[in-house]
Amino acid sequence: MNSPARPYLIAPSILSADFARLGEEVEKVIESGADVIHFDVMDNHYVPNLTFGSMICKALRDYGVEAPIDVHLMVSPVDSMIEQFLEAGASIITFHPEASHHVDRSLQLIKDGGAECGLVLNPATSLHHLDCVMDKVDQILLMSVNPGFGGQSFIDNTLDKIRQVRQRIITSGRDIRLEVDGGVKASNIRAIAEAGLTCLSLGLRYSTKKDYKAAIDEMRAELALANNS
Ligand code: DX5
Ligand code: ZN
């Protein structure tokens, strides 16, 4: 997926959308200025919560959603879910390295299926998991909350992790998106951006404001003030 003209991507998480009207909600949030739809897939095994499978992704594609769908797999094992979400129309698939016995093979499975691939690092997961994959990943997702639930508070030491990953991306010379996921709000988004992101995708709650455009405009206004010198 090519990065758009503006430097930051906003990727609302459907986790807190109104599931009784999911198609309309996704349409509305894209019309309100979101760039990507963040899909939080949980299996009540890798994380202590259960959400939805690939059928919801397929249903949104059949409904007519064309925006990139950024699938965040909080499941273990991952490979069968990768195959299902590729089939269902996922644009990006990321997974937690602890959830796959063969990380390189799982990343290659995503790429071979025509989607962009990436790893998700939990707050206490070491950056060493990136050592052997910087030539392969298209996106790195840093969890700024412990995975499993929306509405949690941003874990502040993520800022230093962002700076370290940013340096690794610069050293790699590759155009790798750095996504931060969890507890991102208008009140902290500027500090997160100034931590040195190349491109920022946000898992954010729809329900912070029922007026999606106002919520996204507020985020963009803060991002515009970020000093990325
Ligand atoms: C948590 C998910 C996040 C979360 C984002 O496991 O990966 O995407 O739903 O929601 P907020 O922005 O409310 O933390
Ligand atoms: Zn997520």
Q: Of 140, 138, 143, which Cα lies nearest the Cα of 155?
A: 143
Return the residue matching tokens 């991952």. Answer: 78
Residue 140 lies in a domain: yes
Q: Of ligand 1's atoms, which has the minimum distance to the CA of residue 148?
A: 6
Report the number of distinct structural domains present in the chain. 1
* Nearest CA residue ID for atom 6, ligand 1: 147
Residue 97 lies in a domain: yes
Q: Specify burial of residue 153 (Cβ count, 10 A radius: 0-12, 13-18, 19+).
A: exposed
pTM: 0.94
Residue 4 lies in a domain: no
Q: Is the peptide bond before 123 cis (omega within 30 degrees of 0)?
A: no
Residue 18 lies in a domain: yes
Task: Give, for ligand 1, the residue of 122, 181, 204, 207 to mutate: max count of ligand atoms closer than 8 Å to Cβ.
Answer: 181
Nearest ligand atom owner, CA of 70: 2
**Contact (CB, 8 A) for 29 and 37:** yes
Q: Of 114, 96, 111, 117, which Cα lies nearest the Cα of 43?
A: 96
Identify the CATH number of the domain in which residue 162 sits: 3.20.20.70
Report in angstroms the alpha-carbon separations of 19 from 116, 147, 155, 206. 26, 20, 28, 12
List the chain pLDDT tens, one digit each, 229 residues: 544 445 789 999 998 888 999 999 999 999 999 999 999 999 999 999 999 999 999 999 999 999 999 999 999 999 999 999 999 999 999 999 999 999 999 999 999 999 999 999 999 999 999 999 999 999 999 999 999 998 899 999 999 999 999 999 999 999 999 999 999 988 999 999 999 776 666 666 665 557 889 889 999 999 999 876 5
| Structure tokens given for 5 | 């003209």
Residue 144 lies in a domain: yes
For residue 70, report the phi and psi dihedrals to the nearest 5 degrees.
Answer: -100, 100
Containing structural domain, residue 112: 9-227
